[in-house]
Copies of this chain bind each other. A is one copy, B any other.
């Protein structure tokens, strides 16, 4: 049993705060997970805990220690200083960043996100990809960072389960295309989603979703095998990016 940390200027807190930005996470090779539920999700996905802060000893702190994490008890104030949420739950833990996925063309269903910058949208899309049975997501360099706190909150653990790979999309998609994947792009000038050419049951698909503001970039658009558009029947001009991605993922995997 160690002494409770009380000073929020403690160097440990400063180390945690450096993880609030993408660069700090990359430099440290680590990211912060807040709350028991999310920490349990990370452990169930075999992620490696390095250290943790907790208001009290509990089964979770025992489990974290058993996995080699340095667990410190701390006051509420320290936890509030360390966490991104305003009213954090009683525990947070720093995990090693998982190795980047290498998504191959053998996966039957991939997602490619071309500049999805809103963290809530990115997290929600990864959560839906998990639910819809997609095998992974390619992310262009302009996408929000997968390990940002807001992305994690929206993803509800799916960032731990859906492999992601940051890469230059035009090159990655061109390579997938030569290996027989069909590139389906969501585009305002696309075919009505429900009148598109039907894919064969064994087709390997890559669904491309563009940025909230600018859609899919020209370079990526040129690689499209099929462009589709969700019909707008009322007077709304467009859908939220995460909602559109959800409708498309479930429609493309719909049993016939």
Binding site for B on A (CB under 8 A): 120, 124, 127-134, 154, 156-158, 161-162, 194, 230, 232-240, 242-244, 246-247, 250-251, 253-255
Docked complex Cα distance between A254 and B247 (Å): 11
- Whether A236 contacts B158 in the complex (CB less than 8 A), given A128-B243, A194-B255, A255-B194, comes out as yes
A237 neighbours in B (Cβ, 8 Å): 156
Query: What is the CB-to-nearest-CB distance from A155 to chain B, in angstroms, rounded to a whole number?
Result: 9
Complex copy number for this chain: 2
Q: Do residues A161 and B234 form an inter-chain contact, with CB atoms below 8 A?
A: yes
A236 neighbours in B (Cβ, 8 Å): 127-128, 130-131, 156-158, 161
Docked complex Cα distance between A156 and B213 (Å): 13
Docked complex Cα distance between A53 and B105 (Å): 55
Known: A129-B234, A161-B235, A194-B254; 18 extra A-B contacts, CB below 8 A, are A120-B120, A124-B243, A127-B240, A128-B236, A128-B240, A130-B235, A131-B230, A131-B233, A132-B234, A154-B240, A156-B237, A157-B236, A161-B236, A230-B250, A233-B253, A242-B242, A243-B246, A244-B246
A251 neighbours in B (Cβ, 8 Å): 250
A230 neighbours in B (Cβ, 8 Å): 131, 250
A194 neighbours in B (Cβ, 8 Å): 254-255
Q: Do residues A233 and B128 form an inter-chain contact, with CB atoms below 8 A?
A: no
Q: Do residues B235 and A246 form an inter-chain contact, with CB atoms below 8 A?
A: no
Q: Do residues A130 and B234 form an inter-chain contact, with CB atoms below 8 A?
A: yes
Docked complex Cα distance between A234 and B230 (Å): 24
Q: Do residues B239 and A127 form an inter-chain contact, with CB atoms below 8 A?
A: yes
A239 neighbours in B (Cβ, 8 Å): 127-128, 131, 246
Q: Do residues A240 and B124 form an inter-chain contact, with CB atoms below 8 A?
A: yes
A246 neighbours in B (Cβ, 8 Å): 239-240, 243-244, 246-247
7 pairs from A and B in contact (CB 8 Å cutoff): A120-B120, A124-B240, A127-B236, A127-B239, A127-B240, A158-B236, A247-B247
Docked complex Cα distance between A130 and B230 (Å): 13
